[in-house]
């Protein structure tokens, strides 16, 4: 049983339920120094006890200079003290990028960042790393990534299989082995994200075969706009889910009717898009009963210990959206414990 698991049990399965914590992806505050963000969180969103911090790839490095922290133990202790003094912990380091990019300058840099983030997680005692599976080209001659969305036309058929066998599987098998040697307690949680090699249950199944330390990061917002069932996915993947992002989606019916969910212009301009990411509880999952059911499913069936708020709502500032999301998630957690939900 994980160290943070409580005593409450799932009566259907007789399994311990994880005591989930509420966290925040700090990328929404990338323009603000770490101490100032942490002070704000303590005051504005006291239910937030964990933070997810970018350390490599495309993720902003405002709050975590991985190379400095790896090289300098004094700086590492100073950095950790900023969190400790405020009673916050790191739920995960984030190194989202494209280590499979056909441009070798990009793929080499992102792969190196991923390995450095694994090393840093070992030094900090952080046991979750969030990343993306990446996307290679359609052929060895390509210079840009190509998402293999299916065989709509002859030149799109069977692209995914070549990408996986020639690029994806060798890379992630190697990363799994590297992480096992460097930080055996680490779980590398790849977000099921469109545009990448791993984005649904089928493609994650291929990844899961490469190593037990490769897990899924679940974000229900991506399932909403694709008409997928987040609750079914939770039950299908179960303990192979190691982390969870909390984000919603809001549809604009008149735009959806004309251009569908695959509008080429996404994400701008937001008011003309068929859908946008939304603050938790203010979109497709605006029914708070749904969030309660989702949160309880995460606690019962997965190895995630965190509901990490990822604020990407173009219509709501992060300083407003994060406290609102934390309120919805706290109510969902209280409902799961059989406590009355106190919502302002």
Chain segment 20-62, per-residue pLDDT in tens:
999 999 999 999 999 999 999 999 999 999 999 999 999 999 9
Specify the pTM.
Answer: 0.92
pLDDT at 133: 98
Please name which of 158, 233, 153 lies closest in space to residue 191, comparing C-alpha atoms. 233
State phi, psi for 216 to the nearest 5 degrees.
-105, 140
* Res 164 pLDDT > 80: yes
Q: 167-200 as b/e, with b when 16 or more CB fall inside 10 Å?
A: bbbebbeebbeebeeebeebbbbbbbbeebbbbb
Task: Work out the number of other CB atoms within 10 angstroms of the CB of residue 157.
Answer: 12
**pLDDT reading at 11 higher than 60:** no
- Sorted by where each starts, the structural domains of the chain and their CATH numbers stand as 5-249+278-336 (3.20.20.150)
Q: Over the stretch 203-260, which tens digit does the pLDDT of each residue have? A: 999 999 999 999 999 999 999 999 999 999 999 999 999 999 999 999 999 999 999 9
Confirm if 131 and 97 have CB atoms less than 8 A apart: yes
Give which of 124, 104, 240, 239 is closest to 182, Cα–Cα.
124
Percentage helix, strand, coil for the chain under 3-state DSSP, each rounded to 5: 45, 15, 40
Once rounded to an integer, what is the mean pLDDT over residues 172-183?
Answer: 98
> How confident is the model over 122-157, as pLDDT tens digits?
999 999 999 999 999 999 899 999 999 888 888 888
């Amino acid at each position: 049983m994980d160290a943070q698991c409580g005593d409450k049990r799932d009566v259907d399965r007789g399994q311990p339920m994880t005591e989930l914590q509420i966290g925040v992806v700090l990328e929404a505050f990338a323009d603000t120094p770490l101490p100032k963000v942490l002070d704000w969180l303590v005051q504005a969103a006291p239910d937030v006890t964990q933070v997810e911090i970018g350390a490599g790839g495309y993720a902003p490095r405002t709050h975590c200079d991985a190379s400095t922290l790896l090289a300098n133990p004094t700086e590492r202790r100073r950095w950790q003290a900023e969190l400790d003094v405020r009673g916050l912990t790191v739920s995960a380091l984030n190194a989202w990028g494209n280590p499979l990019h056909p441009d070798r300058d990009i793929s080499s840099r992102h792969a190196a960042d991923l390995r450095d983030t694994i090393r840093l997680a070992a030094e900090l005692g952080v046991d979750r790393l969030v990343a993306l599976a990446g996307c290679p080209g359609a052929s060895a001659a390509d210079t840009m990534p190509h998402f293999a969305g299916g065989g709509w036309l002859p030149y799109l058929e069977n692209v995914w299989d070549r990408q996986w066998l020639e690029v994806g599987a060798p890379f992630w098998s190697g990363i799994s082995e590297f992480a096992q040697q460097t930080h055996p307690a680490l779980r590398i949680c790849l977000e099921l994200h469109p545009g990448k090699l791993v984005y649904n249950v089928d493609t994650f199944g291929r990844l899961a075969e490469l190593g037990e330390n490769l897990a899924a990061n679940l974000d229900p917002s991506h399932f909403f706009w694709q008409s997928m069932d987040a609750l079914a996915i939770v039950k299908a993947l179960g303990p192979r889910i190691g982390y969870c992002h909390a984000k919603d989606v809001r549809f604009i019916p008149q735009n959806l009717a004309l251009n569908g969910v695959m509008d080429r212009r996404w994400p701008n301009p937001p008011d003309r898009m068929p859908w946008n990411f939304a603050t938790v509880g203010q979109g497709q999952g605006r029914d708070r009963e749904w969030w309660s059911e989702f949160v309880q499913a995460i606690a019962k069936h997965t190895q995630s210990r965190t509901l990490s708020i990822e604020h990407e709502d173009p219509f709501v500032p992060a300083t407003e959206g994060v406290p609102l999301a934390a309120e919805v998630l706290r109510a969902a957690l209280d409902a799961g414990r059989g406590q009355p939900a106190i919502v302002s």
